[in-house]
Amino acid sequence: MTLADRPPSYLSRATLAQELDVSESTVDEMVRRGVLPKPLRLSSGCVRWCWQDVQAALVTLKGGTETPASDPFLAGALNVTQTSESRRGTA
């Protein structure tokens, strides 16, 4: 996947709305309801959403726990957690 094939790592409200095919007011409503994560405030007039956080939030809407295949860090963190929990009971 090239940079041109994916959304930016950090998206503005307008870009996030376009990526999700919703209005900007719908993005605000989804954040208020906890469907989407809160944005990062980079300065007084600049907020951005981390695309990987948005993807993870959308996966939970589907009832899944899988991480996006494009994020090996999150996949590894999930595996470490599962391994640690399984070892606790074998002591």
pLDDT for residue 1: 54
pLDDT for residue 67: 52
Name the nearest CA neighbour of 38 among 16, 70, 65, 18.
16
pLDDT for residue 63: 76
Number of structural domains found in the chain: 1
In degrees and rounded to multiples of 5, residue 60 shows phi and psi of: -65, -25
Q: Give the domain range for residue 7.
A: 3-64
CATH code, domain with 16: 1.10.1660.10
pLDDT for residue 57: 93
Radius of gyration over alpha carbons of the chain, in Å? 16
| Residue 72 domain flag | no
pLDDT for residue 48: 97
* pLDDT tens, per residue, the chain with 91 residues: 565 666 679 999 999 999 999 999 999 999 999 999 999 999 999 999 999 999 999 998 877 655 555 556 556 555 554 544 455 555 5
